[in-house]
């Protein structure tokens, strides 16, 4: 549980960085960092059984559920922040069912956010390939950590 909280602290710190930008803008490195830290949180919570699913989700381009707002950056930041607060509360106060439910909600929001980021801000296939390459490199690093037992 401690590993999950540490990785979650890193996710929350990144969201706090987004709050400093009045437009709530994200960049590729920040999104890849969120993917990596959320995956680490998930590994600590659920073990390696969830890893393959997350790897597929975060590497694909799909049709996300979009927030209803003029500035999707701010909407996603706020939605992710709320889901992560609920997840942290469940880790502290909840039983297994509450933790699992909060994790699933936050994971779905994270997946939708990544898909929307790719669709909205990487419409060109060249741009998307560059982002996809960064995600692949992040998962290769995680693969090594998992094999090393960390």
For the stretch 63-112, pLDDT in tens is: 655 555 556 666 777 788 788 888 888 888 878 888 889 889 988 888 88
In a domain, 87, yes or no: no
In a domain, 118, yes or no: yes
Give the number of other CB atoms < 10 A from CB of residue 70: 6
Residue with more model confidence, 34 or 81: 34
Question: CA-to-CA distance for 120 and 81, rounded, in angstroms?
Answer: 20
In a domain, 102, yes or no: no
In a domain, 96, yes or no: no
Using pLDDT thresholds of 50, 70 and 90, give the confidence band for residue 41: confident
In a domain, 95, yes or no: no
Question: What was the pLDDT predicted at 43?
Answer: 86
In a domain, 33, yes or no: yes
In a domain, 27, yes or no: yes
Which domain range does residue 121 map to? Answer: 2-78+111-147
User: Helix, strand or coil for residue 96?
Assistant: helix
In a domain, 105, yes or no: no
Residues 41/8, Cβ–Cβ less than 8 Å: yes
Of how many residues is the chain composed?
A: 150
pTM attached to this predicted model: 0.79
Question: CA-to-CA distance for 14 and 10, rounded, in angstroms?
Answer: 6
Question: What was the pLDDT predicted at 74?
Answer: 66
Number of domains the chain contains = 1
């Amino acid at each position: 549980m401690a590993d999950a909280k540490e990785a979650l602290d890193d996710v929350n710190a990144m969201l706090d960085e987004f709050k400093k930008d009045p437009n709530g803008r994200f960049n590729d490195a920040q999104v890849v960092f969120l993917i990596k830290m959320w995956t680490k949180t998930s590994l600590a919570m659920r073990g390696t059984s969830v890893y393959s699913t997350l790897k597929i989700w975060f590497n694909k381009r799909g049709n996300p559920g979009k927030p209803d707002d003029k500035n999707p950056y701010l909407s996603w930041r706020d939605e992710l922040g709320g889901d992560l607060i609920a997840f942290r509360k469940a880790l502290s106060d909840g039983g297994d069912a509450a933790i699992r439910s909060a994790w699933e909600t936050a994971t779905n929001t994270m997946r939708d956010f990544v898909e929307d980021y790719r669709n909205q801000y990487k419409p060109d296939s060249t741009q998307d390939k560059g982002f996809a390459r960064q995600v692949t490199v992040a998962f290769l690093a995680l693969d090594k950590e998992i094999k090393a037992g960390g």
